[in-house]
């Protein structure tokens, strides 16, 4: 009696090894495309990919199936333009998709940090090493294992890629208002690169520090050379939902540090106070804000935004009123839309209003006052 042939068993964890090996291969520019294709064939990766896809747990993301990823790699290598160098020939192999498949598999299988580090040791490409370390560090920090988180940064052979990992640890310390740990890590973060990310990390620290100790100590900390006046809104963030608009105005008048005309700190803080505390959303405060915002030149923008500061502030006010006070501020929401210059932000606020309107009319949404 003939028995039905069984498909060979392959562990889901094998996909992680395969993805790491594939990246090592396509990022190894010392071997030819023909050699890469031969290694893929020798390892039976096409057959293994099909088996892995058939038993996949995360079936919803078809674009991250291993078979089409492997097919693209083979097609690119077989049809490469010989006039290009290997880096450009293999660009279409799409490293980022293979990396996404790798990390998705780690997520699906709930790979623990210790096992991740064992996989990391097999990564030969510096960019892959960087991405795997940055994937592993948050898991170690969740376990408060800061020492090991720092140690595994050494697995990234190219030190030019270390700064992103140090930023993760700096932010960990920052959100805990750990002054010593934060400044020790900040020195290793290469402050010249992705400045917007550094602004975010520094702001998180000041917000946590101010909340933990006091507003006064937060304001004093912001005077350090690592910060400056542009970070003062972060110091106030923990208190905006608690303080009245009148109290915020009084603070602006008392603290000379907020007098920075070119930074428009007061305008930002008044807007944040209006949005953070529904009790501050009064007609008087809205029109006070309006007199302040119309004075901001349209060319002024924050470092980490594609839009002007003025447009960003009007958009945030409009969104807050739609969420919390639509019935009382219909006219004022229309003013917010009118005042926004950039089409993208203007249309975004209009669409938000369109989405909320039917829900309000049908009684699905309760406006919180």
Query: Tell me: the pLDDT tens digits for 297-317?
Result: 999 987 678 899 999 999 999
pLDDT band at 269 (very low <50, low <70, confident <90, very high): very high
Number of C-beta neighbours around residue 343 at 10 A: 8
Please give the C-alpha separations between residue 368 and each of 135, 278, 313, 331, 358, in angstroms, as whole numbers: 39, 9, 21, 18, 17
Quickly tell me which residue has 């690592």 as its tokens.
226
Judge whether 132 and 157 are in contact, CB under 8 Å: no
Quickly tell me which residue has 């790798």 as its tokens.
102
Sequence-separated (6 or more) residues with CB below 8 Å from residue 224: none
Q: What are phi and psi of 301, to 5 degrees?
A: -145, 155
Query: Tell me: the pLDDT tens digits for 66-94?
Result: 999 999 999 999 999 999 999 999 999 99
> What pLDDT is attached to residue 260?
82
Q: Return the structure tokens found at 236.
A: 């106030």
**Per-residue pLDDT at 368 exceeds 50:** no
pLDDT band at 258 (very low <50, low <70, confident <90, very high): confident
Residue 308's DSSP bridge partners are 301
Residue 301's DSSP bridge partners are 308
Sequence-separated (6 or more) residues with CB below 8 Å from residue 254: none
**Per-residue pLDDT at 286 exceeds 50:** yes
**Per-residue pLDDT at 207 exceeds 90:** yes
Query: Tell me: the pLDDT tens digits for 125-184?
Result: 999 999 999 999 999 999 999 999 999 999 999 999 999 999 999 999 999 999 999 999
State the pTM of this model: 0.85
The predicted model gives 333-361 an average pLDDT of 86
Q: Return the structure tokens found at 185.
A: 């890590």
Judge whether 129 and 99 are in contact, CB under 8 Å: no
> What pLDDT is attached to residue 133?
97
């Amino acid at each position: 009696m003939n028995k039905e042939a069984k498909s060979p068993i392959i562990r889901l964890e094998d996909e992680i090894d395969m993805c790491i090996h594939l990246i090592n291969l396509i990022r190894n520019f010392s071997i030819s495309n023909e050699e890469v294709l031969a290694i893929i064939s020798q390892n039976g990766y096409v057959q293994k990919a099909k088996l892995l896809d058939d038993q996949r747990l995360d079936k919803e993301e078809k674009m991250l199936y291993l078979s089409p990823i492997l097919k693209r790699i083979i097609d690119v290598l077989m049809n490469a333009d010989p006039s290009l160098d290997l880096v450009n020939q293999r660009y279409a192999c799409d490293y980022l998709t293979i990396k996404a498949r790798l990390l998705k598999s780690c997520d699906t299988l709930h790979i623990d940090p210790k096992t991740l580090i064992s996989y990391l040791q097999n990564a030969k490409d510096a960019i892959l090493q960087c991405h795997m370390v940055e994937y592993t560090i948050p898991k170690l920090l969740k376990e408060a294992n800061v020492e090991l988180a720092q140690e595994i940064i050494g697995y990234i052979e190219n030190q030019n890629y270390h700064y992103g990992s140090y930023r993760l640890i700096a932010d960990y310390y920052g959100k805990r208002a750990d002054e010593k740990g934060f400044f020790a890590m900040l020195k290793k973060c290469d402050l010249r690169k992705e400045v917007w990310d550094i602004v975010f990390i520094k702001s998180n620290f000041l917000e946590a520090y101010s909340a933990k100790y006091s507003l006064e100590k937060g304001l004093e900390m912001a005077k350090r050379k690592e910060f400056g006046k542009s970070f003062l809104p972060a110091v106030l963030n923990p208190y905006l939902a608690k303080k009245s608009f009148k109290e915020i105005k009084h603070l602006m008048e008392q603290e000379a540090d907020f007098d920075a005309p070119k930074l428009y700190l007061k305008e930002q803080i008044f807007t944040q106070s209006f949005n953070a505390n529904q009790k501050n959303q009064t007609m008087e405060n809205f029109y006070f804000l309006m007199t302040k915002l119309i004075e901001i030149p349209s060319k002024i923008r924050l470092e980490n935004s594609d839009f002007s500061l003025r447009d960003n502030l009007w958009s945030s006010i409009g969104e807050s009123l739609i969420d919390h006070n639509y019935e009382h501020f219909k006219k004022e929401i229309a003013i917010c839309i009118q005042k926004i210059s950039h089409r993208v932000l203007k249309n975004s606020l209009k669409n938000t209003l369109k989405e909320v309107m039917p829900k309000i009319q049908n009684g699905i949404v309760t406006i919180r006052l």
